[in-house]
Structure 1
Amino acid sequence: MSSRSNDALQVSFEFARGRVRCTVTGDLIRDSVPLLFETVRAILTGGDRVVIDLTATTMIDSAALGCAARLHQVATERGVSVEFVTGRNFQRRVFEVANLDGYLQIVHEPVG
């Protein structure tokens, strides 16, 4: 498992059987969004599926929602599916309120 971090956020990732799992811990806010975007963008070629686990985030702002939409777009262009794991906590509600749950693949728990 590898990781990258800054003062507000840590992004850990591991490769397994054609997928990449990213675990995001901390505040996913304007100042930390570039860390997530650049980390995930760099590993999009590591498999055919990327799972981004947001259940350990403590804050998600509008910049993070924009980042999620951009990651989805980049992944789609590269033929990679991206899935956001939100659990049943506030993280899921943030995506619902922004009406992104119909655009992005949002799940309670990772599939497979």
Structure 2
Amino acid sequence: RLSSQNAIKSLGLSTAWDLEDMVNFCKTKRACPYFLSRGLKEDADLIICPYNYLVDPMVRDAMQISLKGHIVILDEAHNIEDSAREAASQSITQDSILKAIKDIESLMEQN
């Protein structure tokens, strides 16, 4: 199982790599690049990711990212406000509301 940088180095990928390197490497080892990258972040000195990984609490929790004790550098920081606003906003359709009302009415009839 590939879950550490040492395991990867022992299989021949010893320098810094980008996404394409990781995908190609995982294809040859029949491994999943997504889960490999998640495991590698624990030992990483530097992680580069999109804004939503940091500002959206649901994404941050899903990716198990803790900002405590870490330095965050934002590139193109003028876009962070829009990203934060998008992460904090919710939208609901009229169809969803009508379905919810129908479900509630059905539950009320059963009780």
TM-score (norm 1): 0.29
* Structure having greater relative contact order (Cα 8 Å, sep ≥ 6): 1
Comparing both structures, which one devotes a greater share of its residues to strand? 1
Structure index of larger Rg: 2
**Larger relative helix fraction:** 2
The TM-score with structure 2 as length reference comes to: 0.29
